[in-house]
Structure 1
Amino acid sequence: MQPPASQASLTAHILADPLNPFPWYRVMREQYPVYYSREFHSWFIARYSDVQRVINDPLLFSSEQSIRSRPAARTQPTVRTLLWTDPPRHRQLRSLINQAFTPRTIANLAPRIREIVHSHLDKVAHQGQMDIVSDLANPLPIIVIAELLGVPTRDQKQFKLWSDIIVSPARQAKKQAVIEMNTYFQQIVDQRRQQAQDDLISALVSTHIEGTYLTDAEILSFCRLLFVAGHETSTNLIGNALLTFTEHPAVFEELRAQPELIPDAIEEVIRYRTPIQRLRRATTVDTQFGGHHIKAGEIVSPILGSANRDETQFINPEVFDIHRSPNRHLGFGHGIHFCIGSSLARLETRIALEILLARFKDLQRVSDVPLEHVSSSFVYGVKNLPLTFQRCA
């Protein structure tokens, strides 16, 4: 059953105001919790319990089949990698990444992250104004993931361009960006086969699963995933945090006085302005869901950003509250596809906020510069966020 004609453009409303989709999410939760979007040719899932059910059931809601259903996948073979793989292959691939992103490995990055944050803030400290996105939130995670992979940081601007295109709706440009990124990474892979270094690409080249080495296509797909996932989440989490704090200026002073609250504040930002708003799955068999008949192979899109504002799970969900407890948000997904970059994103954001609050005060958004949403229908973030500030004594 489709929504009545009067409500047939709910997703059109969301697209028209991507910085504030939350009132429309509420309409969905209350009236159309399982909603067919003609714009996206997919079923939008809005309520927390239903979103959790979808992302926790890879047998019924497949990541692998969702990517195979795309038009490009019908004309060219797709490489199964972590994001678009179901068990048991997913467990094998995930184990490789878990070895590279151990808690100790992530924690050991802290000194380098602090060094990068300080160096970028040094460049703007005397100005009294900066764009938190272009001056810090963009370059910080790109440098970190580039160094982990073994990619020269001098190419970071090109990688940011490719990454932004890949998460955008521009299909043809996306194909070209993938081709160019593959060509670049292939050169690095070839070099590492000749001379291994202490980086992730060398590890991917030398590793094997049950005696079988990864193919070049699998390695390239891993590199793309790690680079895009390794910085898009952090960039938007940092930007979303500063945007939200400027709307609640008392939070700045509270966090400056009690920096131990920063991790809880970050979790609330993840809930309140979820960096990845929705996911993509495909049903493996015909199923009844929320009173609707969904055919095998149809796309189901659980909306994390809506689940995180669900009134049945969160008290006053429209209120930003850094003391919220419990805070069982789904901002980084759940289950087997829990975001691989979540620990790194949390660490980078925490360190960035700690240093910002220690060095600057009276942080305010330049209100006459309009906010512009990133060019993506599933990522939440802003392209620019100019701030004024004063240096702490």
Structure 2
Amino acid sequence: MITEFDTWGVHERQFWLRGSAPEKVVDFDAGSRMWNVYGHPEAARVLSNPKLFSSNMMRLMAAEIGADVEEAQAGELLYLDPPRHTRLRRLVNHAFTPKVLADLEPKIARLTHELLDEAAVTDRLELVSALAYPLPVIVIAELLGVPASDRDLFRKWAESLIPPTSDEDVSLVGRFEGQEQVTETTIQQRKEFGEYLAEYIEDRRRTPREDLLSGLVHAEVEGERLSDKEIATLADVLLLAGHVTTTMLLGNTILCLDAHRDEFARVRADRSRLPDVIEESLRYLPPFAVTSRVTTAEAEVGGVTIPPDQLVMVWLGAANRDPRVFDDPVAFRPGRDPNPHLTFSRGIHYCIGAGLARLEGRIALNILFDRFAEIATLPDEPPRFVRSSQMLNAHTVPLAVSA
């Protein structure tokens, strides 16, 4: 059973995992020239005010590492502000309506059983490679209308959307230092994805189908059709929203339950508790621990004045453990009411794939509980995490299981 975060090899900047808290709810890091927001009310305010706290960081990055960055992000919802964000988001929201999600339930259950059958589990299961990664990839591929058999390619492209980090975590701590290579890699990966999608885009122009890719190809925004690059970039976002979040959610929920065996026993005995377990896991181990914004004008946050054109890091993981909002925040306590965690962000950039991640998590975990009477981490083979302050992403979660 994993009980110490240190044994997971998580990044030292994830101080909030170990129960420590910053001295201030907002501070300035002179080394990285970044403003950090740790408090929950302050983080919610930043995320809910796109006019003052813009998601368009491309202008800062372009000034420091080259103007090609903006071109590379054409159609990138994560870096757009209204009104264009509103119009493009409306297009992709169709992939995640309550009806679409309800129709996916039997398919997700079938795929979960098939993947576990394929894994030929005896007494050991590597959760990520066997289930947590392929399940959401197959689902989002089918929504888009591209072959799920290309899942390994999807994984490479999806991971290219997340800035790679080293022990120094240069992508955040070093601001944009060293980002030239990161940007070139991202551009190259997106070029490959665009080339891959090109034949499917052209096919949907000739013969539309009942899939999301057809909807994007034939949609109009401001009286114009989307370019192939915009379609590919939106598909990138869907790949990230519909895949990475679920992969992390499944792994992190199992790790939370493994570290709290009493809660594991309770949810096994009463499956109605599972949604509460998932929500608390999202608060406790958020897949993405930080997000960023840029001030468009002078802004006051938590009694601190931030000048315009400043990079603001919003620490979702720390905000989720703000004692002003969460009673006994370091405790894993399913059923918190309320539980206003910011894991899926807040406002116009609320995670598109949140509903799908919750659905896939609930179905997959129920099936795991049905198939295996015992599930536990291996003391001599702990999970491997990406060493990053930006996310809590387990590359591997080896489990001992028994029927």
Quick check: TM above 0.5?
yes
1:116 matched to 2:87: no
Code of the aligned partner of 1:75: D
* Deviation at residue 289 of structure 1 after TM alignment: 3.2
1:32 matched to 2:57: no
Taking structure 1 as reference, are residues 202 and 375 closer, same or farther at Cα in structure 2, changes over 3 Å only? farther
Is contact 1:164-1:375 (8 Å) kept?
A: no
Name 2:289's counterpart in structure 1: 277
Deviations 1:223-276 (A, max 9, x none): 111112210100000000011111112222211211111111100011000111
- The SS at the match of 1:279 is strand
The match for 1:21 among 11, 15, 24 is 15
The match for 1:96 among 91, 94, 105 is 91
The match for 1:255 among 247, 263, 267 is 267
Q: Distance in 1 between matches of 2:267 and 2:116?
A: 19
Code of the aligned partner of 1:22: W
* Deviation at residue 317 of structure 1 after TM alignment: 0.6
* Deviation at residue 134 of structure 1 after TM alignment: 1.1
Code of the aligned partner of 1:197: R
Is contact 2:76-2:230 (8 Å) kept?
A: yes
Identity of aligned residues (%): 37
Name 2:4's counterpart in structure 1: none
Is contact 1:67-1:73 (8 Å) kept?
A: no
Deviations 1:284-309 (A, max 9, x none): 01234345442221111111111100
1:63 matched to 2:55: yes
Is contact 1:234-1:349 (8 Å) kept?
A: yes
* Deviation at residue 206 of structure 1 after TM alignment: 0.8
The match for 1:50 among 20, 24, 42 is 42
Code of the aligned partner of 2:16: F
Q: How does 1:279-318 map to 2 (within 5 A)?
A: 279-318=291-330
* Deviation at residue 313 of structure 1 after TM alignment: 0.4
Q: Distance in 1 between matches of 2:326 and 2:280?
A: 11
Name 1:201's counterpart in structure 2: 213
Is contact 1:365-1:388 (8 Å) kept?
A: yes
Taking structure 1 as reference, are residues 42 and 197 closer, same or farther at Cα in structure 2, changes over 3 Å only? same
Q: Distance in 2 between matches of 1:44 and 1:15?
A: 20
Taking structure 1 as reference, are residues 197 and 23 closer, same or farther at Cα in structure 2, changes over 3 Å only? closer
Deviations 1:191-243 (A, max 9, x none): 22122222111110011134322222221110111112210100000000011
Is contact 1:25-1:46 (8 Å) kept?
A: no
Is contact 1:286-1:295 (8 Å) kept?
A: yes
Taking structure 1 as reference, are residues 254 and 24 closer, same or farther at Cα in structure 2, changes over 3 Å only? closer
The match for 2:339 among 324, 327, 341 is 327
Code of the aligned partner of 2:208: A
Code of the aligned partner of 2:332: F
Is contact 2:137-2:151 (8 Å) kept?
A: yes
Name 2:68's counterpart in structure 1: 75
Name 1:228's counterpart in structure 2: 240
Taking structure 1 as reference, are residues 173 and 75 closer, same or farther at Cα in structure 2, changes over 3 Å only? closer
Name 2:152's counterpart in structure 1: 157
Code of the aligned partner of 2:132: A
Taking structure 1 as reference, are residues 148 and 375 closer, same or farther at Cα in structure 2, changes over 3 Å only? farther
Name 1:9's counterpart in structure 2: none
Taking structure 1 as reference, are residues 287 and 25 closer, same or farther at Cα in structure 2, changes over 3 Å only? farther
Name 1:105's counterpart in structure 2: 100
Contiguous gaps of at least 5 residues in structure 2: 1-8, 166-181
Q: Distance in 1 between matches of 2:137 and 2:186?
A: 19
* Deviation at residue 111 of structure 1 after TM alignment: 0.6
Taking structure 1 as reference, are residues 96 and 89 closer, same or farther at Cα in structure 2, changes over 3 Å only? same
Q: Distance in 2 between matches of 1:100 and 1:191?
A: 20
Deviations 1:150-187 (A, max 9, x none): 11111101211222232133614333222212221223
Q: What is the alpha-carbon root mean square deviation over aligned residues?
A: 2.0
Is contact 2:11-2:387 (8 Å) kept?
A: no
